[in-house]
Amino acid sequence: MTPENNAGSETVTITVPDDCARERLDKFLGNLDNLKLSRTKVVKLLSEGLVLVNGAVVAGKFVLTGGETIEITVPPRTVTEIIGEDIPIDIIYEDEHLAVVNKQAGLVTHPAVGNRSGTLVNALVHHFGKLSEQAGSDRPGIVHRLDKNTSGLLVIARDDETYVALQQAIQSRELKRTYHALICGHVQEEHGLIDLPIGRSTRNRTRMAITSVKGRESVTEYQLLKRYRSYDLLEVSLHTGRTHQIRVHFSHLGHPVFGDPDYGGREKWHKGMFAPERPLARKLFGVFDRQALHAKKLEFVHPATGEAMSFESDLPEDFHNLLAMLDEEGA
């Protein structure tokens, strides 16, 4: 695709400074202050052939030498009107630049096909009005997302500069996200690092899978908090932020997140468990109808003030009751 094929697009021409030699193209593009391109936007432009280096299409991992001419064709932004809705949400911090929200399970993060209303974004627009649209006009303010049935903390960008800075913090792993997860079975080591690439499943395009074909680097760290008879409670830290990362990694290891219907954490894993344990599993499913995953802690440096920010969220009532039942059963 070339700039001539994009009516209404803006073409920007840049000469790479010599001091940017040995820098990857995708990182160089993400650091352009005048364009303020998000990581998602950079990936999209590269994949659609809208970035030319010396007249040629190259991959995002292309290493610059300095002096190259880069042509960037930025298509006109598609505007999607988001209607604010008075949906109750738990805002635990806000200032003029950003906010931190404790999302309840069952709430979709942003509109998509089949979910144009009733989302966290609809609630955010109602509460804040103007938010950064760097991630797209259908995802105002969204820096990172949580699955519908995952509860916990999200940081929201209220302006473009904050969005870009927070995205860079995620890329450099300076924005830290910590989860609590109840997994099926037991991990071999009390502390471990899972480094397996994740990409779109070829069998089911709505799911992700471990794959070396177009799989992206995905790193998950975990620490055992408590061992039950048939389950482990883990503290999990994301070093990268792939879709369904925690759920996919532990499912691949044979330890799906408890209650996860997509990656084997409900009926599939429990069919093979020790028979006397199955009645308790059915009892647990009766009181807990989602995956046992909660985004518990969020740490980052405030882009505007430089202040170290740290937020922690208590386990929601359903998760707390699940663990209490395991304690009561001596399981």
What's the start-to-end Cα distance of the chain, in Å?
58
On the 0-12 / 13-18 / 19+ scale of CB atoms within 10 A, 24 is: middle
3-state secondary structure of 284: helix
Per DSSP bridges, beta strands 191-195 and 69-74 are unpaired
User: In this structure, are residues 64 and 28 in contact, taking their beta carbons and an 8 Å threshold?
Assistant: yes
* Chain CA centroid to CA 131, Å: 19
Q: Which of 18, 19, 138, 147 is catalytic?
A: 147
User: In this structure, are residues 10 and 50 in contact, taking their beta carbons and an 8 Å threshold?
Assistant: no
pTM for this prediction? 0.78
Q: What is the pLDDT along the chain (331 residues), one digit of tens a residue?
A: 333 444 557 788 999 998 889 999 998 998 886 677 777 788 888 888 899 999 999 998 999 999 999 999 887 666 567 889 999 999 999 999 999 999 999 999 988 756 678 999 999 999 999 999 888 888 999 999 999 999 999 999 999 999 999 999 998 999 999 999 999 999 999 999 999 999 988 888 789 999 988 788 999 999 999 999 999 999 999 999 999 999 999 999 999 999 999 999 988 888 887 777 888 888 899 889 999 999 999 999 999 999 999 999 999 999 999 999 999 886 5
- 232 noted as active-site residue: no
Compute the distance between CA of residue 270 and CA of residue 322 in angstroms, rounded to an integer.
16
